[in-house]
Structure 1
Amino acid sequence: MTALQRYGEFFAGMQPTDLDRLDIVFVENARFRDPFNEVEGIAAIRAVFEHMYANCAEARFEVLESVGGERVGYLRWRFHFRLKRDRRKRRPVDGVSRVVLAEDGRVREHIDYWDAAGQLYEQFPVIGGLMRWLRSRLAVADR
């Protein structure tokens, strides 16, 4: 099993209690970036995931694919979640993470790429309507 696959397994199985073990997975000065956050260091990365678990119920990542070399790889994932105030699950969000590994196999950089506007914001009543309208205005018209 490669270091990227091990990280993918950690990521897919991560629970709030696993946040105490982030130093096994990330180097001390690791960088993490997603559409909402750009942080450096294990404490800051932990804060991002703590915030996610504080606001989302049933939050989990499903790793669909891992591709890469010895130092750089990509994880294609699906995020399943429900906001704590929701009565039902929301549509999952699909994304890709670019992962840079240190020589010891821990993560030095994790950068998420996913469409927050199309996959997340559209699920909310007011902003969703605005996002769908904007998308219809920017899309090529059917011929």
Structure 2
Amino acid sequence: MSTAHRVFGTYAPASDPVHGGHQALSRFIAYFETLSRSSLDDIARIYAPNARFRDPFNNVQGLDAVRRVFVHMFAVTEAPRFVVLDALGNTTQGFVVWNFNFRGKGRAARDWVIHGATRLEFDAQGLVTLHRDYWDAAEELYEHLFMLGPFLRAIKKRLQAD
């Protein structure tokens, strides 16, 4: 879905004057799907100076701190890539469903796919002021680890409704 994204069920390219309010969401998706070490130099075109970023491992504020989260991602993974599956939004907020594909390094050197979603808030200039990632670290990561996986799967099985 990297060339067309649904915004409340309709295709809304950034240049569409009827859906112009979704320019911020379209710009974020284009940036997110092509994120690279070199594109981190352009992060101020997407995120506000005082942007907040939160995921299962990070809770930071400020453009430099958000940039460091992505720099770290490139340091600990090989070939990280986000694929946007769906998106909803308007002039003030957005919700993006994605897959994060990467290859682990070291003992985790295998291909991984993490399924998640991001809630976004935009300022009046269309810059991201809040980037909140939602994904299940236990299911997507920890259950696949040698020492932790069996223990977490056993707990999950015990807590499941029949």
TM-score range, shorter chain: over 0.9
Q: Which residue of 2 aligns with 1:8?
A: 29
1:122 equivalent in structure 2: 143
Per the alignment, residue 101 of structure 1 pairs with 122
Displacement over 4 Å in runs of 4+: none
The one-letter code matched in structure 2 to 1:89 is D
CA–CA separation in structure 2 for the residues paired with 1:34 and 1:87: 22
Q: Is the 1:5–1:66 Cα contact (8 Å) retained in structure 2? A: no
The answer on 1:88 being equivalent to 2:110 is yes
Q: Mark the runs of 5 or more structure 2 residues left unpaired by the alignment.
A: 1-13, 15-22
- Residue in 2 that maps onto 1:61: 82
Residue 98 of structure 2 is aligned to residue 77 of structure 1: yes
Q: Deviations over 1:36-60 (max 9, x none)?
A: 0000001001111111110000111
1:111 corresponds in structure 2 to 132
RMSD value, Cα: 1.0
- 2:64 matched residue in structure 1: 43
Corresponding letter in the other structure for 2:86: E
Helix, strand or coil for the counterpart of 2:65? helix
In the TM superposition, residue 126 of structure 1 has moved relative to its aligned partner by: 1.1
**Percent identity between the aligned chains?**
39
Task: For residue 3 of structure 1, report the CA deviation from its aligned partner.
Answer: 1.3
Other structure's SS at 1:54 match: helix
Equivalent pairs, count: 140
- TM-score (ref. length: structure 2): 0.83
2:22 aligned with 1:21: no
